[in-house]
Amino acid sequence: MTEIDRATAGSTERRKQIRNCTYFTTLDNTALCELLHPANEPKELAIRFSIAHALVKPGETTRPHRLKTSAEVYYIVDDKGKMSIDDETATLHSGQAVYIPPGSKQHIQNTGDSDLKFVCIVYPMWCHEDEELV
């Protein structure tokens, strides 16, 4: 038994499966599924960040937006895209991560042939009120 298996044995609150997650559409038009969010868990978590799985369909671009007070890290899981942060644009692909400072204007375009899948880590934790279109 691994350390993770021992730490999570009998505790479904600590383990999340993407296949059991419900996706919703955010203000910027991203399909998002919250994997861990302290405000939405049945038991208190000693974390101040949230983790979500995101999808952008082929050829689509999220709407330009910013998080006023939270920083983000996107980790690209599958496919590729173009990420714009303020005045910089870069191509991202599977296995890469990008840091997005608080208050930065951002959007991502799926330039691949399948769903662009990425993990969003937000600190402090994501909340709808912190996000605004720009």
Tokens 């082929």 found at = 58
Assess if residue 85 is contained within a domain: yes
Q: Do the beta carbons of residue 118 and residue 13 sit within 8 Å?
A: no
Domain count, the chain: 1
Assess if residue 4 is contained within a domain: no
d(CA 55, CA 109): 11
Assess if residue 28 is contained within a domain: yes
Assess if residue 10 is contained within a domain: no
Tokens 């919703």 found at = 24
Q: Do the beta carbons of residue 53 and residue 35 sit within 8 Å?
A: yes
CATH for 60: 2.60.120.10
Assess if residue 9 is contained within a domain: no
For residue range 19-50, what is the model confidence (pLDDT) as tens digits?
888 999 999 999 999 998 888 777 778 889 99
Full-model pTM:
0.85
Q: Which pLDDT belongs to residue 99?
A: 99
Give the pLDDT band of residue 10 (cuts 50, 70, 90): very low
pLDDT at residue 97 above 50?
Answer: yes
- For residue 119 the two structure tokens come to 């993990």
Higher-confidence residue: 49 or 17?
49
- List the domain range (segments joined by +) for residue 72: 17-133
Q: What do you get for the CA distance between the two ends of the chain, in Å?
A: 49
Assess if residue 12 is contained within a domain: no
Assess if residue 46 is contained within a domain: yes
